[in-house]
Amino acid sequence: MVKFNRILTLLGVSALCSFVAGYPSEYEDDYDGECKEFNDFIVEHKGNINYCEMESGQIIEIGLNVETLNQAIVDKLGTHPIDIVSFQKIGKIEKNLSLESISAVILSLRNDSKKGSTIPKNVLKTVNNAQRLTISNYKITQSNINDIGASNYLSELTLTVCTYEKNLDFSKLKNNSSLKKLTLYSDDNNYIGKFPESLCKDTVLTRLDIYQGKIKSIPKCIGKLQNLESLQIYNNTLTDLPEEISKLTNLRSLTLDYNEFTSVPSVIGKLKNLNILSLSYNEITKIPSAITKLANLEILDLDNNKIKSIPDSIGKLKNLNYLIMNNNKIKLIPDSIGKLKNLGRLVLNNNSITNLPNALGKLENLHTIELNNNKIDAVIPESLNNIRYLYGFEADGNVDIRGKTLTNPELMDCYYNEESNKTKDGLCVAKGTVCKPRFDVPDCE
């Protein structure tokens, strides 16, 4: 996922870099070849370089700060076949600027001027080579949206920590048939506020992420986005989903973290091709039977909710690989957990669990089990030794973990609560133990 991860990394770096217009980079002496040549040029144009990476004597990636992004700087960049260009701090953008000569496939533009600064009309229309564009800290106008829609090659667009002109018509993006992935990230003090229904006309989208928008509901027109494979509505105020979301038959990943759900919408059970479902940091109290109808589900993340139990029907999720439910109110692990033959990671830290069922030993593909900070008062099931590739067993912060230590040959990380076990000598080291307790524990007789 070089997609936005690499770009966001660049933006993260930019937050740490200091910009003093007209002064050279503190790393100027470290540059040579094309990097030194470009550094000397950019200093003359009241800017500096944060980093410059070369391969086989050519610049492949560059991050820079400029007081004014002008045509001379752009044209100089155009003389180098650079893959990634990140303007990490821009004072202002010259009117009538053309970015056409920049050959980078990944381009980012980050405003360092006052809030509400805009990108001049027609500038974004000239982004003819970049496939991935990130715009940060600007006010997005209708002319910006229209210009992006006129770009021929752009496949991924991220608008991060931006403010948005009211009533933007995002349908203009559909004019760019290459645009498949869109991320809208609001500024802390200026939210989108409402799911833009005009987005529903951009039917070529395969991924849509909306972060921190204070969105209360998703419109029924979402059902028109039938090419969507990933939908993330993160850190908003959703409480339910429309029935029309069931029309997203190609949806593979649904993330609804940090919202205000008190229950899992039943319509999710109709998303038969879903592989990833995340509803962490909500107020959910129960796992409904609808979830266990998702036969293709591989990752289920319900961290930080108020769930009191894992239903027996959890065993129907035959393809589940990750089950993550930290910080809930779960008291028991059901025996039906043993039916999850493909489960690789079971994470149930910070609950109220009291038991360690023998059924855990049936999880033949399990590699990690985390049960820290529960209320377990039980003997370690020797059936866990049947799991050949188990390399992590954590049960620290419990009441009393008793019995023999595990002898799995691949076990590397093990925490047996040995510091606070209430039963003296309740734990012993079994013959053949590879991962030994971190405190003095007697050998088993």
pLDDT of res. 192: 81
DSSP helix, strand, coil percent of the chain (3-state; round to 5): 20, 25, 55
| pLDDT for residue 51 is more than 70 | yes
Q: Assign 5 to helix, strand or coil.
A: helix
Amino acid making up residue 88: Q
Q: What is the pLDDT of residues 421-434, one digit of tens each?
A: 777 678 999 999 99
Residue 440: CB atoms within 10 A of its CB come to 7
Q: Please list, residue by residue across 178-213, b when 16 or more beta carbons sit within 10 angstroms of its beta carbon and e when fewer do.
A: ebbbbbbbbbeeebbeebbbbbbebeebbbbbbbbb
Work out the pLDDT band at 25, boundaries 50, 70, 90.
Answer: very low
Query: Which tens digits make up the pLDDT trace of 245-285?
Result: 999 999 999 999 999 999 999 999 999 999 999 999 999 99
Cα first-last separation, the chain? 52
Residue 376: predicted pLDDT: 96
Is the pLDDT at 17 greater than 60, yes or no?
no
Inform me whether the pLDDT recorded for 8 exceeds 50. Answer: no
pLDDT of residue 176: 86
For Cα atoms 31, 32, 38, give the angle at the middle one, nearest 5 degrees.
Answer: 75
The yes-or-no verdict on residue 22 having pLDDT over 60 is no
CA distances from 400 to 68, 74, 127, 360, 433 (A): 65, 66, 62, 18, 20
Q: Which DSSP letter does residue 23 get?
A: S
For range 378-390, the mean pLDDT? 96
Q: How far apart are CA 382 and CA 372, in angstroms?
A: 19
Task: Examine the pLDDT at 287 and tell me if it is beyond 80.
Answer: yes
Assess whether pLDDT exceeds 80 at residue 26.
no
Contact between 273 and 250 (Cβ < 8 Å): yes
CB 416 within 8 A of CB 401: yes
Here the tokens at position 9 are 């990394």
Least confident interval from 1-15, 96-110, 256-270, 325-339: 1-15
**Confidence band, pLDDT 50/70/90 cuts, at residue 29:** low
In the predicted structure, residue 191 carries a pLDDT above the cut 80: no
What's the pLDDT at 313?
95
Question: Which tens digits make up the pLDDT trace of 102-146?
Answer: 999 999 999 988 777 999 999 999 998 899 999 999 999 999 999
Contact 419, 442 (CB under 8 A): no
